[in-house]
Amino acid sequence: MAKSKPDARTYSARGDTLISRQPVLLTRYRAFTRCNHWLTAVCMFALLLSGFAFFHPSLYGLTALFGGGQVARWIHPWIGVVLALSFLGMFVQMWRLNLPNRDDVEWGKKAGHALRGNGDQLPEVGKYNAGQKAVFWGMSLSILLLLGTGLMIWEQYFAQFISIPVQRVAVVVHALSALASFFLVLAHVYAAIWTRGTIRAMTRGTVTGGWAFRHHRKWLRELAQRAGRIPTEK
């Protein structure tokens, strides 16, 4: 005869009681940072869609999303300026946290476990892992190239200062940088969807303690030490 499971009173008698049903929550991004992120994201998608429309005739229909070809051609560079300024705001806030360190080398060696969902096999990391840092610096470089080459080929204001041969090179570099940005954005979105609980950080600004323990344990430990929940390591 199978034994019945002990009820709540049995556990209470042993000293095991449920303290709270609510998970531990940690603030990961402020409201300003989240707005900054979503403004950058909207600008990036608008640039990619309008840029693809100019890239090949078969994609020209995408200009309808912006009110037609003339409007899309006019608004595309201005969206680029907004993107550059918006990403600059993110860069100022995050560049220090994305500096490479020894943890990134170890994480990179075992990055395959992240793709297979074996997070327990990965080394402890701070607020960002090596993959996130690679996307951050890749986006920084590609946006810098997009801005520089975009200004070179902005005929309305800068054509008279740039020679035709330089503009031709700038167009190629601009297209390649846009393509690199597309794949970086794709990787970023895929990772956010694949890692359950990540999108919450950029919509609500918080993550659960369990999420932080699984994916960014060193960051969780630093926050706990700062709050005095655990002793500071000497």
The pLDDT score that the predictor gives to residue 215 is 86
What is the set of active-site residues?
188
The model's confidence at residue 21, banded by pLDDT at 50, 70 and 90, is low
Nearest of 161, 148, 136, 178 to residue 51 by alpha carbon: 178
Say if residue 94's pLDDT is above 90: yes
The pLDDT score that the predictor gives to residue 144 is 97
Digit-coded pLDDT (tens) for 122-178? 778 889 989 899 999 999 999 999 999 999 999 888 878 899 999 999 999 999 999
The model's confidence at residue 56, banded by pLDDT at 50, 70 and 90, is confident
Question: Average per-residue pLDDT in the chain?
Answer: 85
5: which 2 tokens? Answer: 């499971």
Say if residue 1's pLDDT is above 50: no
DSSP three-state, residue 103: helix
The answer to whether the CB of 187 falls within 8 A of the CB of 204 is no
The pLDDT score that the predictor gives to residue 125 is 87
Digit-coded pLDDT (tens) for 184-218? 999 999 988 888 888 999 999 999 988 888 888 89
Separation CA 144–CA 215 (nearest Å): 30
The pLDDT score that the predictor gives to residue 231 is 55
227: which 2 tokens? Answer: 């709050």
